[in-house]
Amino acid sequence: MKASLDAFLACEAGYDEANTVLFGVPYDSTTSFRPGARFGPKAIRSESFGLESYSPYQDRDLVDYKIFDGGDLELPFGDPVPVLAQIEETIGEILDDGKLPAMLGGEHLITLGAVRAVKKRYPDLVILHFDAHADLRAEYLGSQLTHAGVMRQCYGLGAEIFQFGIRSGDREEFVWGRDHVTTRMFDFEGLQKLVKKLAGRKVYVSLDLDVLDPSVFPGTGTPEPGGVSFQALLDACLALRGLDVVGFDVVELAPMLDASGVSTAVAGKVVRELLLAFCK
Ligand code: MN
Ligand code: MN
């Protein structure tokens, strides 16, 4: 019999031997518009059956790396506080075991749990944030812990934040953002230069897939027209090779919002390329 199809692509190493640990966070309770991101991780795994483990872009193959897929976290309903605590604990364990955490969302708030764990261990942390949305709201609908304010919360932990692809947010977010984070609007210009500047720094990469144009990636809770192409995102991901990445996430796929399944295929391919870019 063949190995289980449940794991993402060729990520079938055992935990102990793995250098990289992939896991899913099926959470979307603070989604403000169209929910469904909780189904993202499972969809990425099952659709990865249609994806090759070999990347012609990088001439690398997932079969050559030791990656463990730990499945999805079992989460309490609703309240983000215990969910974030569980993510922080999980990421912390992976880091303390000397492995690279790779987290599949789920909505974007889950990044906060990961950054809490990473920042504790790497105080000098830089976050690279690709997104259509600034995610800098001080609060949203009366709550501080939402996908729309996740980078504001990460800033509050003391991380230095560089954003790319941003094209949506309220005025207050942009006004605040000017003084506190570095934002490249609409595209990835300046990324190559930044990567050189970040030599020697520990970097966490947070990729909200809605940075892509909805024509490429309609399966998401808050689609925002005017986004980047798949090729542009791929080039940006490949530009990150060589950075000292200590963790990353790919969030905001809501597979049921795209009946064609293309959004899930896009997400899976992005995950493959990031794994191959950052795995040691
Ligand atoms: Mn986001
Ligand atoms: Mn977004």
Query: From ligand 1's centre to the CA of 3, what distance in Å?
Result: 34
Query: From ligand 2's centre to the CA of 134, what distance in Å?
Result: 7
Nearest alpha-carbon partner for 126 in 245, 278, 249:
245
Minimum-distance ligand to the CA of 129?
1
CB 104 within 8 Å of CB 7: no
Query: From ligand 1's centre to the CA of 1, what distance in Å?
Result: 41
Please confirm whether the linkage preceding 106 is cis (ω < 30° from 0). yes
Query: From ligand 2's centre to the CA of 156, what distance in Å?
Result: 19
pTM value? Answer: 0.97
Minimum-distance ligand to the CA of 133?
2
Per-residue pLDDT 10s for the chain (280 aa) are 555 558 998 788 999 999 999 999 999 998 878 899 999 999 999 999 999 999 999 999 999 999 999 999 999 888 999 999 999 999 999 999 999 999 999 999 999 999 999 999 999 999 999 999 999 999 988 899 999 999 999 999 999 999 999 999 999 999 999 999 999 999 999 999 999 999 999 999 999 999 999 999 999 999 999 999 999 999 999 999 989 999 999 999 999 999 999 999 999 999 999 999 999 8
- In the sheet that holds 20-25, the strands lie side by side as 67-72, 20-25, 100-105, 244-251, 202-208, 126-130, 160-166, 182-185
Adjacent-strand bridge partners of 7: none
